Structure 1
Amino acid sequence: MHFTTHDQLILLALLAVLAVLLIAAPKLRVPYPIFLVCGGLALGFVPGMPTISLPPEIVLVAVLPPLLYLSAYRTSLRDLRANARPIAILAIGLVAATTIAVAVVAHAAVDDMSWSAAFVLGAVVAPTDPIAATAIMRRLGVPRGLVSIVESESLVNDGTALVLFRVAVVAALSGEFSVWDVSWRFVWAVVGGVAIGMIVGFLVAETRRRVDNPPVEVTISLMTGYFAFIPAAAVSASGVISVVTAGVYLGWRTPELTSVQSRLQGEALWNIVAFVLNALVFALVGLQLSSILDKLTGTSGWQLTWWAILVTGTVILTRIVWLPIFAWRNKRKPFTHTFLISWAGMRGAVSLAAALSIPLATDAGPPFPHRDLIIFLTFTVILGTLVLQGLTLPAVIRTLRIQPDTIEEEEDAQARIRAAEAALERLEELTAEEWVRDDTAERMRGLYNFRRNRFTSRFDEESDGAIEEQSRAYQRLRRELLDAERAAVVELGRSGLISGDVANRVRRDLDLEDARLEI
């Protein structure tokens, strides 16, 4: 591919606009996916802007596997087990209900839309994207359990929806529908995906157990999503389910397999990779509308708008109606929590990528029925849910008066207290060793006792706050000293008294000490 100077300038301008949007989003307190989609939408209608297409394989094969793997890797097995029922109701039951509801509405409203094409549309718009919703929920202190449900739902419903999508596309291509064939395809997609994911997870775990090279370990981690997705897709199993299975398995196994260096390097790199991939995809999604509309010149704008409102409204209302009926019969779950989950069902890039992957023609030769309209309606559902639900979600949270909980803070303190106690227990065992000096052991004992008492006092109602105040004073003083150390190292490097490698290594160690002060 040859890039002209004009193409390079356009690419540079797009990257500059993307950077501006990413900087502005947190200042305006708008989740960056919403900002990027709207920014891309506006750019798409700028006169002279070339058409920038979003190949479906870019999202489904190149972008989706690593993002899914990271989400699954960071998912807590405990939370998955605890929320298994609501996750199943959302990721399986609601996906099926949304697919059917949208198919019924689209078949009734759109002239000549066949049932198979309508079900393709329903399956495409069924999966949710949690990025914008969870960003808002975390910022406003929504209880961790609700955030976990939204994240876990998205992990599973991508797989469910894409399996239904594949079945619907096959029916539309062949013009035939077999209950036996559909059931077999669905079962194989799920079972095959889980099996391949477990095999890949086991093989990667055994490989990483034998590797002691942080760059290699991090590279294997980045590639694991593809290792799970591609073989599953090749045998018509669910690549999404395979990636999620491998991610959850390795998230459970990795702490015992990896070194400190690989975990630190991997965490930093993964955060950057995930952020960049999500940012690019949401911006590209926004850029698609102008090219999509160019293919629908034979339909009036009012008609397209009406269909878009119908389908988007069906997607939103189905979720709102479904959850109170089927989600939580447990009286301990307040209605406010149920409604919040129902309003957090935004759609994202997976839906658009699935729509763009619809074949151009059926097996018999004619064009795939209503392909361009399905893509347009998918885009409007993404835009409508992101803008309407995303921008109003903070107001919904405040109106429902959902109070933040302290469970995560308490568990964090509990973990650090237990870690300090384990260190003290081990210290007592080691004091008998000849190489352990008494004065060194005493300093370590004082350090860990202070750490344990500090976290214990955070949730002690009778505490006068003296320990926490002492800790804050220590942190402030330590930062002042670290700044002085950094300045000295920088001066040594600039004067040529130490090499750049030495300066970078010492600064990194100082930065790690500084980062620990956040605890």
Structure 2
Amino acid sequence: MELGVYAVIAVAVIVGVAAFARKLGVAAPIILVIVGVMLSFLPGVPKIGVPPEIILDGLLPPILFAAAISVPLTDFRRNLAPIAGLSVVLVVITAFAAGFILFTMLPHLSLAAAIALGAIISPPDAVAATSIGRKLGLPPRVLTVLEGEGLVNDATALVLLRTALAAALGTLTTPWAGVVDFFSAVVIASVVGLVVGFVSVWVRSKLSDPVLDTALSVVVPFAAFAPTEALHGSGVLAVVITGLYTGHAAPSRFSAQARISDQINWRTIQFLLENGVFLLIGLELRTLIADVENPEVLSVWNAVGLGVIAVLALMVIRFVLIVPLILGLKRRAERAERSVLREWLMISYYRDHPVRYRWQALRKQRAERRYERHRSDLEEYRQEAIDGKGGVVLGWAGMRGVVTLAAAQSLPNSIPYRPQLILIAFTVAFLSLVVQGGTLPWLIRALGLQGADAGEDRRLLAQLLDDLSEAGLAVLDDPETAAASTTQIDPEVVERVRQSSYLRAESAWERTLLNDTPQESRPHHVYRTLRLAVVDAERTRLLLERARGSYPSRVLTEAQSLLDLEETRLRSRSR
């Protein structure tokens, strides 16, 4: 009974804080942590201690899966170098550097245990940064890098933590064994993640019932996580790979209904779990302070002071390593330009010389595909280059969160200063969220960073819809074949389909070309407004018929579904 009450209160707090945070322009996780801290000291609030397994094994897989399926694989591939630099190289360097600093300050802590704590506090949590960035309009590429870093860095940190703890407990034979363990964990995770992704997508593509599809999708992250961990791989990385594959395959393998259902369900799951964990972080402060059993060895305030030092060290390390990353991105754009030039020369050669053999034709096709892809990549690098201002945001956006506190609580009891180390990790997470996250909006405004050009996006959307309409209308040249009909189709029906196909592109061009015209005067807006008024009147009549009991409930439900679909379509077009 009490658990149910607490769950209701928690959800109410999360929803209320999220709504308030949107109006305030602050990321909800920041406020939730502060609210959690304040609630933890209220009279009558019990001490809260969540076992780390619940977060690492129960909550983290669906959180990462929900984030991964929404990241376009093309964007992830284009930014693989900076993502790998931040989520692997930076995490490893940060873990060793921060660990060495803590090793010099805590005399009874071994170097391996200190590196374990360094691994715990090394991975940033991108939730707060990306939510702020979207609201204030960060450049899309900066957001992609932050999201990609947040997906992969947890895997790096947790594998490094496992290796460091093995060394601290004396079960790691040589440093090379740790290196082998790290790479084997990555390989196992990659294989299992791809296999689970392929199998789950194949099975779900055969399901026509959205309820069954949703039920299966909920267990997919655990299906990737559990066997990978059993094989001593990185379960977190396996979940991310499965999510990336699922998100990439969804448009071609899942039905529209399944994709819409997936989007709503996983956004809801992600919202509740992410924000719930941040609330738990704040609620656990009182318990963490009470767990410091030997303050004469290292007092609470000394532990907090070490946490402050660790936060400052993490900031410096991140900014130092951001500089070569930005320079590397510039060199990568230059290499991409040379690569595109070479491929263009190869294509030009084949255009000027006849193709005589099959292998030449295949080589020409591959060259043309590579050229188109690399040319698109080059345009992306040019238009959305990450400059010094973007680098400053990347450096300041290193807030810690969920994994830091959960991983700290997984430290064995035999590790010296264990309660204090957990408190240090909490201090790092709390201060980075409140200080860096709280000032990130001001920093973005001060730097004058601009997000995607809304006008240009509208123009590109209209252009894309034109291309899609052209491809779609080509089907109407032979309507009988398209409709699998053995009889001739009425030309009026074909024309109705043709005209309805024009509406999307016309509406998009209207929003682009008539952007300065009042919305109320735009033809398509007037059409949608009138159609919504009609749907609203129809729904009123439907409710009246339901009250009268004039029709069977199953018929009323079907009519309600049709009206809901129509209203959803009209409102989505009005955005």
Q: By how many angstroms is 1:11 displaced?
A: 5.5
In 1, Cα distance between equivalents of 2:405 and 2:48:
14
Matches within 5 A, 1:380-399: 380-399=427-446
| Residue matched to 1:364 | none
State the one-letter code of the partner of 2:326.
A
Structure 1 range deviating more: 452-461 or 321-330: 452-461
In 2, Cα distance between equivalents of 1:461 and 1:264:
30
In 2, Cα distance between equivalents of 1:207 and 1:329:
41
| Residue matched to 1:40 | 36
State the one-letter code of the partner of 1:426.
V
Identical aligned pairs, as a percentage?
33
Displaced runs of 4 or more, over 4 A: 7-16, 407-411, 457-468
| Residue matched to 2:321 | 322
Change (3 A) 1:108 1:501: farther
Does the Cα contact within 8 Å between 2:310 and 2:428 map onto a contact in 1?
yes
Which whole-Å deviations, capped at 9, do the CAs of 1:48-92 have from their partners, x for residues lacking one? 311121111111111111121122222212111111111111111
In 2, Cα distance between equivalents of 1:467 and 1:48:
55
Q: By how many angstroms is 1:436 displaced?
A: 2.6
| Residue matched to 2:180 | 184
1:213 aligned to which of 202, 209, 212: 209
Matches within 5 A, 1:263-302: 263-297=259-293, 298=295, 299-302=298-301
Matches within 5 A, 1:62-81: 62-81=58-77
Change (3 A) 1:272 1:10: closer
In 2, Cα distance between equivalents of 1:438 and 1:271:
43
In 1, Cα distance between equivalents of 2:73 and 2:186:
19
Q: By how many angstroms is 1:411 displaced?
A: 4.7
| Residue matched to 2:356 | none
Structure 2 stretches of 5 or more lacking a match?
Answer: 331-384
Do residues 423 (structure 1) and 423 (structure 2) align? no
1:22 aligned to which of 18, 22, 27: 18
Structure 1 range deviating more: 248-257 or 315-324: 248-257
State the one-letter code of the partner of 1:387.
V
How does the TM-score come out when normalised to structure 2?
0.83
In 1, Cα distance between equivalents of 2:74 and 2:308:
39
| Residue matched to 1:312 | 311
State the one-letter code of the partner of 1:373.
Q
Does the Cα contact within 8 Å between 2:82 and 2:329 map onto a contact in 1?
no
Does the Cα contact within 8 Å between 2:86 and 2:149 map onto a contact in 1?
yes
Does the Cα contact within 8 Å between 1:197 and 1:242 map onto a contact in 2?
yes
Matches within 5 A, 1:410-449: 410-430=459-479, 434-449=487-502
| Residue matched to 2:220 | 224
1:174 aligned to which of 170, 173, 180: 170
Change (3 A) 1:183 1:31: same
**Match of 1:328, SS?**
helix
Do residues 497 (structure 1) and 496 (structure 2) align? no
1:107 aligned to which of 90, 103, 115: 103
Structure 1 stretches of 5 or more lacking a match?
Answer: 361-366
Q: Alignment length, in residue pairs?
A: 509
| Residue matched to 2:333 | none
Q: By how many angstroms is 1:164 displaced?
A: 0.5
| Residue matched to 1:471 | 524
State the one-letter code of the partner of 1:454.
S
Change (3 A) 1:12 1:195: closer
Does the Cα contact within 8 Å between 2:120 and 2:407 map onto a contact in 1?
yes
State the one-letter code of the partner of 1:350.
V
State the one-letter code of the partner of 1:48.
G
Which whole-Å deviations, capped at 9, do the CAs of 1:83-138 have from their partners, x for residues lacking one? 11111111111111211221122112234222112111110111121111111111
How does the TM-score come out when normalised to structure 1?
0.91
Does the Cα contact within 8 Å between 2:141 and 2:386 map onto a contact in 1?
no
Do residues 340 (structure 1) and 393 (structure 2) align? yes
In 2, Cα distance between equivalents of 1:52 and 1:290:
8
Change (3 A) 1:203 1:15: closer
Matches within 5 A, 1:348-387: 348-360=401-413, 367-387=414-434
Change (3 A) 1:463 1:445: farther
Does the Cα contact within 8 Å between 1:454 and 1:467 map onto a contact in 2?
no
In 2, Cα distance between equivalents of 1:377 and 1:107:
13
| Residue matched to 1:140 | 136
State the one-letter code of the partner of 1:40.
G
Q: By how many angstroms is 1:190 displaced?
A: 0.4
